[in-house]
Amino acid sequence: MPEKVVISPQWALWSIPMLHWRVGLLTALVLVGMVVVWSIDGCTVKNIIQAWRYQQDYLAVRSHTPDFTLPLHNLTFTLDKKDHSSPVDVWSGSNGWVYSTHCSFKLYSAESAWNCLKNRWIFFWGDSNHVDTIRNMLNFVLDLPEIHAVPRRFDMNFSNPKEPSQTVRITSIFNGHWNETQNYLGLDSLRDEGFQDLLRKYFSEDTIPDTVIMNSGLHDGVHWRNIRAFSAGADYAASFWGDVMKAVRQRGLAWPRVFYRTTVATGGYARSLAFNPNKMEVFNGVLLEKLKQAGVVSGVIDNFDMTFPWHFDNRCNDGVHYGRAPAKMKWRDGEIGHQYFVDLMLAHVLLNALCAR
C-alpha cells in the first residue's frame, strides 16, 4: 500500500516565517528600484531616447551617403523637425536620405535630350551595365530604337533622326578585363599597358571627351581576394586617372567632368556571390574615396542605392544587370519577361547630371 505523503501542520507553520522573509526582501528591492526609476524624470528618459535616435540617424546618413552629394547643413533642419514626430515615424520613415523639394528631377523628351547632348562627347569606362544603359538611352530617350545592342568597346557618332545636324559622340570602354572578351580582372586591367594606351589615346587628341562616366565593382568583386588588395588596385586606378587628367590640363584643355557611377546591388541568386551587395557597397566607397583624393571626380551618381530596393529577387535584374532587354522567354524566376525600368531611371539620372551645367 503506497504511503500517503502528509505535510505536517508543524512543517507548514515553520515555513511561513521563511516565506515572509523572502517576500519581504523582494518587496524591498522592488520598492528601491521603483524609487530609483521615478527619480529620473520623464524629461531625462526622453533625452536619452532622443540622443540615441540622433545617433541612429547619423549612422544611417554616414553609412549610405558620400558626404558631398548631400546638403548636410540642411539635414540638421530636417532631423530637428523629425524629432517632434511620433516614434512610429522614426521607425517606418526616412533611412537618412533627404529628398528635397527644391531639387528638380527632369524626365527627358527626345528633343530636350538631343538639345543637351548635341556636339558633345561622352566617355564611359565601366562594366557591362554601361552597355545596357547606353542602349536603353539610345532606344528610349534618343529615339533610336533600331539600335538593338552596343558592343563592350566602341566609339561612335549618333545623330538625331529628326534633326540630323545634331550628333553626339559616345565612347565606351569595358573595364572588366583589358581583353574585351574576358572577365573578372576589374581595376587590375589597368596593369596592362596596351589597355592604358587605349584609354590615354582618347584624352590626348585635340578634342577630348567633355564628360566621363566611370564605374567599377562587379569584376573587382571576383578578382580581389580582400579589401587590402582591392584598396591597392583602387589607388593604382586613381593615380592613373589623376595622371590622365593632369596631362589634359597641361595641354591647356578643359578638364572633363567626371562622374563616378556606383556599381549595382546584385540581385536574386547573385546576392550571395563574390559581388554581393555588402561587399559592393564597401568597394564603391573605397574607389570613390581614392578618386576623390586624386581630384578626379566631380560628381557621384549613386546607382547602388537606386538598385538596392530592387535587388531582393530577379524581377528587375538577371543578378548582375538591371537593363537587359526583356525577351519573350522564361526569365530567372520561371516567369515570362521581366522589368527594366530601374536602368531607364538611371538613363534619366545620367541625363540630369550631363545636362546640369
Ligand X SMILES: *[C@@H]1O[C@H](CO)[C@@H](O)[C@H](O)[C@H]1NC(C)=O
Report the interface residues with ligand X, using CB under 6 A: 71, 74, 155-157, 169, 179, 181-182
For the chain, give percent helix, strand, coil, nearest 5.
50, 10, 35
- CB nearer ligand X, residue 110 or residue 156: 156
Q: Report, in Å, the least distance between residue 121 CB and ligand X.
A: 8
User: d(Cα 238, Cα 251) in Å, to the nearest integer?
Assistant: 20
**Cβ at position 181, least distance to ligand X in Å:** 4
Residue number with CB closer to ligand X (146 or 206): 206
- Please state, in angstroms and rounded to a whole number, the distance separating the CA atoms of residues 141 and 126: 21
Q: How far is the CB of 25 from ligand X (least distance, A)?
A: 60
Please identify, using beta-carbon distances, which residue of 142 and 238 lies nearer to ligand X: 142
User: Would you give the DSSP letter of residue 334?
Assistant: S
Q: Which is nearer to ligand X, 167 or 239 (CB)?
A: 167
Q: How far is CA 336 from CA 111, 170, 216, 268, 321, in A?
A: 33, 33, 31, 16, 17
CA-to-CA dists, residue 166 to 118, 137, 157, angstroms = 5, 16, 10
CB 280 within 8 A of CB 218: yes
- Length of the chain counted residue by residue: 357
Minimum CB distance to ligand X, residue 222 (Å): 16
335: number of Cβ within 10 Å: 10
**Least separation, in Å, of the C-beta of 284 and ligand X?**
24
Q: How far is the CB of 205 from ligand X (least distance, A)?
A: 8
Structural element, H or E, at residue 89: helix 87-92
CB of 277 to ligand X, least distance (A): 29
> To which H or E segment does residue 347 belong?
helix 341-355
Nearer to ligand X, 169 or 332 (CB): 169
Question: Residue 239: is it exposed, middle or buried by C-beta count within 10 angstroms (0-12/13-18/19+)?
Answer: middle
| Cβ-based nearer residue to ligand X, 159 or 276 | 159
> Which residue, chain included where needed, has cell 589607388?
235
Pick between residue 115 and residue 166 the one whose CB is nearest to ligand X: 166
